[in-house]
Structure 1
Amino acid sequence: MNGALGKGVVERVNGIKRQNVSDSESSTEVEVVIGKEHLHANGVFSNVYRAVLYSPVKQNIAIKKVWPNKAAPDAAQREIELLSKMKHENVISLLYKFKIGGGNDVCQCLVLDYLPVDLAKLRLSLPGRKFDRLDAKLYSFQMFAGVDHINSKGVTHCDLKPANLIVDPKLGILKIADFGSALITHKNQKLESYQVTRYYRAPELVFGTTNFDVYVDRWSCGCILAELIMGKPLLAGKDRIDQGRVIIELLGYPDSEALKAMKVSRPRLSRKSARGVKMMTAGYDMPPEVEDILQKILVYSPNRRMLPSQVISHSYYNELRTIPPPIRENGREIPPLNYWIIEDKTQSDRA
């Protein structure tokens, strides 16, 4: 396994390779040993592999390989830069980066934390396809904590959904993943409105705004929280037009003040009265505390949506703060959680 340092793979023996990489924090070049690499998930412009990092520290890792994309040639580099800003236990960590290939066919490789399953697949594997009461609370708490950190950096994830929340079901740990769509957003910035997977897309995006901010992530989180408890998406439109229809079914037709806040024109959809969160979630054992949270997040005016830091200080999550810690269905205590956010709010000034 001894070999001179050079670019790319130094040596490969029995599926184990020594690879020169850049450390995500210092950007210095180091040599790592990687093995047991297997395809974990694939996409249009990237594949994710699970592997084992043997050196410098042994741990399970994910390697995201991003191939050139003519439509978004800087997407991989942007994802690397944004991930480098993130240092939080509920946000996936970029450990190392390296490139393979050459010329016009360079593949950017991101070495990341590995957690075995995403929240969407996990839900579908559960009895009744829904989470038990404590796990819904535990996972949503970590989601809101991670989003607060992301948004505090001026970053909008732009694709929060259960499939982009990775978890270790045994330990009850959640991390926010896949920053391929993430953006640094600010006021008066013109952007593409086609962002976020449909069921979790904020109304301003559904109605066509080109100027949005971190508030779209808050809406997505509200939809995910409801789904964890209901066992199905809250707002499942068949297409973009129908997504607008189900949002109006929830909130009613937006008035002039809401349209101005969303920076959109009047949608050409039927004017209906709001059914509201209570009626839309009836029959799903929705805790009153969650109804309260959803009523404060799922609103038209983006800057009136409840802050993630306010959400996790809500009484709904008091159970997670009890001593001794509550026991999950698998017999394990909940993992240690970071509550500093409540005392030292990170993104409140952006509201």
Structure 2
Amino acid sequence: MVEAMQHMNDEMYMRQALALAANGVGRTHPNPTVGAVIISGGEVAGTGWHRGPGKPHAEVDAITMAGARATGSTLYVTLEPCSAAGRTPPCTAAILRAGIARVVYASSDPNPQMAGGGAWLQGHGVKVTANVLETEADALNRPFLYAHRLGRPYVIAKAAMSLDGKLATRRMDSKWISSELSRKHAHALRAQCHAILVGSGTLSIDNPSLTVRDVPLVGRPPLRVMFGSHAPAFHADYHFADGSVPARLYVCHENRHIADWQRAGVDVVKVDGIPLMLRHLAVDHRWQILLEGGGGLHAAFLEARLTDEMVLYQAPILIGGSDAVGLWQGTGVDRVKDAPRLVNVSRKMLGEDLLIRGRVVYPEA
């Protein structure tokens, strides 16, 4: 009975810490979002959340608010306390100095330079409970966790499509399938990402701006990225190379057009395929990527099992035609049981459009 009550209290207070951590989403990169709550005598004595690089960590914020009440208290924090100094001193030392008796955390820190805080605290006499509401905490820090655990960014695929799954007509016309409300939502999504990725076909046909418009932008703008087998011919009127936002071409093969792009100030990187491009982006701290390509690039990512989440804006129109551009070009899957599936699906009406969003789960190979 006592253990069950303790577990219920741990989850209740951890949910408060998660709500605090959510304040930092989009503000803390490349640091994780973290929230903390200190409980003393059954009451909240201190709260905190990380506001960005160089700012106090959530634990330190909460300890400062709690003051003397931190002694003998329980600290709830959404990420394992850091055990090494970075831009700020390690939180484990601050916890020990404050006299906190017990620490409850959700996610384990995947950063090898900062991990091990829980074990360090246990070794210094602090009671530690790990992995309380870990799944919920991980959801707040997917880009951070993917970069450190998998060495690649978290990939969100975004597409506006018709009821019959078409991204464009057979003449490559796609303006505008989605509504103004959907497009505004898409710009808010862009603002949360560190790079916006298209293929060479989308770049050449649509001449996209790949910028964040009409919504607030926190931090640096997303990097414009194109991936293709080779560099397309350069045209001076391409928005991609207008210099307003940093831009980068990833190509698998060199050709004579590369020099033209470089003269226009566009970074060109040769890579051997999509996985190496993603690894290069992760090293550059581009940890959340918005994939806005056509059916070919969407197909390449799905077939490589590299699309992690999908955001689909479905308009109440029918385009039809076997030559129209579909969301997943190419052969697709042979059997329904081999199809990727969306889980944790949310649906919302944006005017006449239906927004569908979910994590992508792939069948076992």
Query: Which interval holds the TM-score relative to the shorter structure?
Result: under 0.3
Larger Rg over CA atoms: 2
Between the two structures, name the one with larger relative contact order (CA 8 Å, sep ≥ 6): 2
TM-score (norm 2): 0.25
